[in-house]
Amino acid sequence: MITPGFVAAEDRDAVTAMLRAQLAGLPARSPFYAGLFAVHGVDPAALVSLDDMRKLPFTDKQMLRDSQAAAPPLGLHAGVDMAEVIRVHASTGTTGKPSWVGVTRRDAEAWTEMVARAFMTMGARREDVVLHGAGLTLFVGGLPIRDALERIGCTMIPIGTGASEKAVQALDSLGVTALHATPSYVRYLAEYLRRLGRDPREFGISKIFVGGEPGGGEPAFRRHIEQEWGARVTEGLGNADMAPVLFAEPPGAGGMRFTGGRHVLVELIDPDGGEPVDPEPGVSGELVYTSVDRECCPLIRFRTRDRVLVTGLAEDGAPLIRCVGRTDDMLIVLGVNVFPTAVRDLVQTLHPRTNGVVQIVLPSPGPRVEPPLRVEVEYGEEPGDRERLRHEIEDLIRSRLTVRAAVTLVPPGSIERTEMKSRLTRVSG
């Protein structure tokens, strides 16, 4: 059964028809799916209702990587010829080698529509002047969000990353009302302003839209950003291979709701067994996406590795979610799952004794880590007794995350900052 709640009742017939049409045509235009369906003995024509989706095999990132290695540049799953592609994005992932995502004219239009709906949901309005502080090159969180903000009619200021002095010039003169960036860059820009002797609150920003990495949903981290800027934070969640933003948080909702309209079907599964999970408040699972009208990179039951928690239900019954972290980043300490973002959020609760910047040092690449978990933490402007602070953090991690940690306090600025996504772990043999 398709996970209920992520597709509106009135959309079921339409998306079922679109999915059937996509599946029917897929084997002919994509050798990847022809092969996959053959291996799994799947007859696309036999799919009658959305509940039949469970008969379709999962796909994952490694399969897309292999597909691109076998048929560069866009892979056996691409579905259209390069001539139909108007833009190429990339997701870099952990290997550093980009995997390419092509977008046709129709795909781009669908993205703009989806992302505009997501930003409207997060609170962006035509009258907003939005400083767009995310990478405007291959990153899917850059150009597609620019398109969406302009579609809404916001005044979009393309700053990108690595240009904080330009961001300050824009803040100083353009009447900026809203900021869009990764949570990492939002914090970085506040630190940058403080170093200039400026107070982030002086600029009168009222809305901060974050995405591109977890962080916006961590309570203490969010509270810190909101206090720094005197602004409300809402967050979005997307996927480089599927769409830049698919879930977005209505202000005050306490979670993100699906905003992908009729373009994408969403399932919640148990990441171990792959069984469907009902999106009831309190349950967690992995998001799985299926496109129904994608031209260049049609994805069927694509496992995102995004682990989410259902935090509640919206008035219309739509599930509200938070991203707990990516399975790729998850650590396993004596059988206990630990997301590095959870460590950061715990440390953030001790601000201003810490400044919230952390890095987990792994003796060897994860996910399995021998205890204690080695955590570097920057102390803050008012650390108080450092030995006591260190013990307090270790106690917090042990009591809340049930793993033993060894904390090292380091001076502010010791841990490398990034204007893109935070590196919450590093491997150091």
Site residues for a second copy per CB under 8 A: 72-73, 82-83, 85-90, 97-98, 100, 102, 105, 108, 126-127, 129, 136-138, 142-143, 146, 149-150, 153-160, 162-163, 166, 169-170, 173-175
> CB-wise, 307 or 421, nearer to a second copy?
421
Query: How many C-beta atoms lie closer than 10 Å to residue 268's C-beta?
Result: 24
Nearer to a second copy (CB atom), residue 47 or residue 240: 240
Q: Least CB distance from residue 255 to a second copy, whole Å?
A: 30
Task: Report residue 312: phi and psi, to 5°.
Answer: 170, -170
> What are the helix and strand counts (H, E) for the chain?
10, 20
Smaller CB separation from a second copy, 159 or 358: 159
Give the nearest distance from C-beta 84 to a second copy in angstroms: 9
How does 304-339 read in b/e, with b if 16+ C-beta sit within 10 Å? bbbbbbbbbbeeeebbbbbbbbbbebbbebeeebbb
Q: How far apart are CA 375 and CA 370, in angstroms?
A: 13
Q: Which is nearer to a second copy, 74 or 375 (CB)?
A: 74
Residues 137 and 86: their CA atoms lie apart, in Å, by 14
- The nearer residue to a second copy, 126 or 272, going by C-beta atoms, is 126
Q: Which is nearer to a second copy, 125 or 262 (CB)?
A: 125
CA distances to 59, 70, 88, 92 from 77, in Å: 11, 10, 15, 18
314: left (phi over 0), alpha (psi -120 to 50) or beta: beta
**Least Cβ distance, residue 258 to a second copy (angstroms):** 27
Min dist CB 204 to a second copy, Å, is 14
Q: Which helix (H) or strand (E) holds 388?
A: helix 386-401
Query: CB-based contacts of 57: which residues, under 8 Å, 6+ apart?
Result: 36, 37, 39, 40, 42, 300, 301
Give the distance, in angstroms, between the CA of residue 318 and the centroid of all CA atoms in the same chain.
19
Helix axes 12-29, 31-39, angle to 10 degrees: 100
Output the smallest distance, CB 120 to a second copy, in A: 15
Smaller CB distance to a second copy: residue 155 or 414? 155
Residue 200 CB, shortest distance to a second copy, in Å, is 19
Q: How far apart are CA 34 and CA 4, in angstroms?
A: 28
Q: Output 203 or 258, the one with its CB closest to a second copy.
A: 203
Inter-residue contact 85 to 296 (CB < 8 Å)? yes
Distance between CA atoms of residues 75 and 70, nearest Å: 7
User: Rounded to whole angstroms, how far apart are CA atoms 83 and 226?
Assistant: 45
C-beta closer to a second copy: residue 169 or 428:
169
Contacts of residue 400, Cβ cutoff 8 Å, sequence gap at least 6: 342, 346
Q: How far is the CB of 124 from a second copy (least distance, A)?
A: 12
Indicate the residue among 177 and 422 with the shorter CB distance to a second copy: 177
Minimum distance of a second copy from residue 134's CB (angstroms): 11
Q: How far is the CB of 108 from a second copy (least distance, A)?
A: 7
Residue 423 CB, shortest distance to a second copy, in Å, is 18
Phi, psi of 223 (to 5 degrees): -60, -40
Of 330, 328, 327, 308, whose CA–CA distance to 319 is shortest? 308
